[in-house]
Amino acid sequence: MKIFLFLVIPLLVFAKVHYAKVEPYESVVLKSAVSGLVVDVDLDAEGTLVNDKRVIHIDDALDKTNLEDTKKSIALLEKMLGINHEIASSLAGTVKRQEGYFKRISKLSTASKTQKDNAYSAFTSAKTQYLSTKEKIISLEKQILDMQYKASQLEDILVKKSIIPQKKYLYKLLVRKGDYVAPGTALAELQDASRAKLVLFLEPEELVGTDDKVIYLDGKRTEYKIGKVWRVADEKFISSYRAEIYIPAPQNEFSKLVKVEMK
């Protein structure tokens, strides 16, 4: 019994202690995908959890007008397309009748050459009008597709001119009202606070058997495990390897320092 205690107690006593800050699971810098003048910034939202609320508004007045006019143009083109479909349908009947008349009269020996020529001319004229209308229909369909693509582009631009985070912690706003932004301009720093992580820097010997080790946080046993380990030594802590433990998001304790032990 004494030998057992002698072997185990040193492992518990000399387990290396780490201190890690409770950090949001992910932190990103949101950059603008469009250009324009910043017309509104919700400074009160900075430092809060934001969900489905606009925090930055880039001028989109002309885009809205352009989109409205584009939709009107699409509606007009669709009306023209409908009319031309009706014309084509009517001309198709005319072509069929003129073709039938021409075939009948061309076989009559009693019909004069002038009658046959006139019948052929009427048939080819009707067919030319029909084909011309069909060509116009194709052109209108192409115009509608182009305008629909333009409308989609404008809708995409409008979405990108209103920055509306979804369940993200707005750590910092990087622009102010009156700023002009271009694509690539940093707008805000957002953090995913749906869960948290603890970042450790472990010595090589600590990486052995990590899956079998029990993690203690502030002296309390947990079921957490090392979630990710970098296999290249850290640039700053050159003899250590970065590791992360993923834990549920705390209520109001981000940045809290936690004592971490692996035994």
- pLDDT tens-digit series, residues 175-200: 999 999 999 999 999 998 888 899 98
Is 192 inside a domain boundary? yes
pLDDT average, residue stretch 239-255:
82
Q: Looking at residue 167, what DSSP letter applies?
A: S
What average pLDDT does the chain have?
88
Range of the domain at 88: 61-160
CB 182 within 8 A of CB 35: yes
Cα torsion angle, 80, 86, 89, 91, sign:
negative
Tokens representing 123 are 């048939």
Instruction: Give me the pLDDT at residue 145, please.
Output: 98
- Tokens 């002309």 appear where? 62
pTM over 0.75: no
Identify the domain boundary among 133, 160, 187. Answer: 160
More confident residue, 80 or 239: 80
Identify the domain boundary among 160, 184, 208. Answer: 160
Same domain, 72 and 49: no
Q: Looking at residue 11, what DSSP letter applies?
A: H
- φ/ψ region of 171 (left if φ > 0, alpha if ψ in -120 to 50, else beta) reads alpha
Instruction: Give me the pLDDT at residue 211, please.
Output: 82
Reduce the DSSP state of residue 101 to 3 states and report it.
Answer: helix
Q: With bands split at pLDDT 50, 70 and 90, how would you rate the model's confidence at 101?
A: confident
The rounded distance, in Å, linking the Cα atoms of 52 and 46 is 14
Same domain, 140 and 106: yes
Is 221 inside a domain boundary? yes
CB 244 within 8 A of CB 200: yes
CB 12 within 8 A of CB 255: no
Same domain, 71 and 107: yes
- φ/ψ region of 125 (left if φ > 0, alpha if ψ in -120 to 50, else beta) reads alpha
Q: With bands split at pLDDT 50, 70 and 90, how would you rate the model's confidence at 252?
A: low
Counting the structural domains of the chain, the total is 2
Is 23 inside a domain boundary? yes
pLDDT average, residue stretch 69-91:
96
The rounded distance, in Å, linking the Cα atoms of 150 and 119 is 47
